[in-house]
Amino acid sequence: MPVIAIDGPSGAGKSSVSKGIALRGGWGYLDTGALYRGSTWLALQAGVSAPEEVANLVVKSNLNFNLSASDPKLIANYPLEQESKTDISEIIREELITNAVSAFSAMPEVRRELLLLQRNFIEKSNAQFGGAVVEGRDIGTTVWPDAELKIYLTADVEARATRRQAQLSELSDVSASSVADSLAKRDAIDSMRAASPLRQSEDQIVLDATYLNLEETIQALWNLIEERKING
């Protein structure tokens, strides 16, 4: 039951590549960034900012990721008093959440709760799909350090800004320069936070997708999977 860990900075293409690999291998898919975005959305909705309050809210909301590479969804029991199941998959991608997620992601109390949740989802994916492709910023270093394959997917900030701008253009009018500035700030925050910072470990394989399109990147990663006979 292989676990493929794909870490890297914002805008490198982790989500698209991870879903492509999961579909190709028939494995489950986990977007850990969605969990942090979901936690941020919950905190903003509830109007709480103290780390322990946010962590407690995460536990009570029963965040659930469905592990489907073809149609990934994040569900939260919110409002809590109604015990409702709310699909927050789309709303967590809004600019308000993007601008706030780094601050909440840096809270050790929140990371502690989500670490347990992420590991549970990986075990669930292994049981249900016979493997998992997991994307984030600390998967290979903290969440699942024994992953069969650890990838650090990156690209230069200009390439990442161009790709992110294309995604955001459907939602708002944003310039490439402003997206590049936002990504650079996010890189700095994620790399310098005290709890599980974004970093490249010695046993991660660097895959630079600056000059690769999506299909080329997926194929390059799949070649590594085949070389190591991870796909059976």
User: pLDDT digit string (tens) for 51-67?
Assistant: 999 999 999 999 999 99
Q: Strand 132-136 to strand 85-87: parallel, antiparallel, or no bridges (unpaired)?
A: unpaired
> Which of helix, strand or coil describes residue 152?
strand
- Least trusted range by pLDDT, from 81-85, 90-94, 129-133, 139-143: 81-85
**Where is pLDDT greater, at 13 or 163?**
13
User: pLDDT digit string (tens) for 163-218?
Assistant: 777 766 555 567 767 888 888 887 888 888 888 888 888 899 999 999 999 999 99
Query: With 90 as the cut, is the pLDDT of residue 37 above it?
Result: yes
Per-residue pLDDT at 171: 54
Q: Strand 205-208 to strand 149-154: parallel, antiparallel, or no bridges (unpaired)?
A: parallel
Query: With 90 as the cut, is the pLDDT of residue 10 above it?
Result: no
In the chain, where the domains are located = 3-227
> Which of helix, strand or coil describes residue 65?
strand
Say what angle helices 32-46 and 95-105 make with each other, to 10 degrees. Answer: 100
In this structure, CATH architecture of domain 3-227: 3-Layer(aba) Sandwich (3.40)
CB 227 within 8 A of CB 219: no
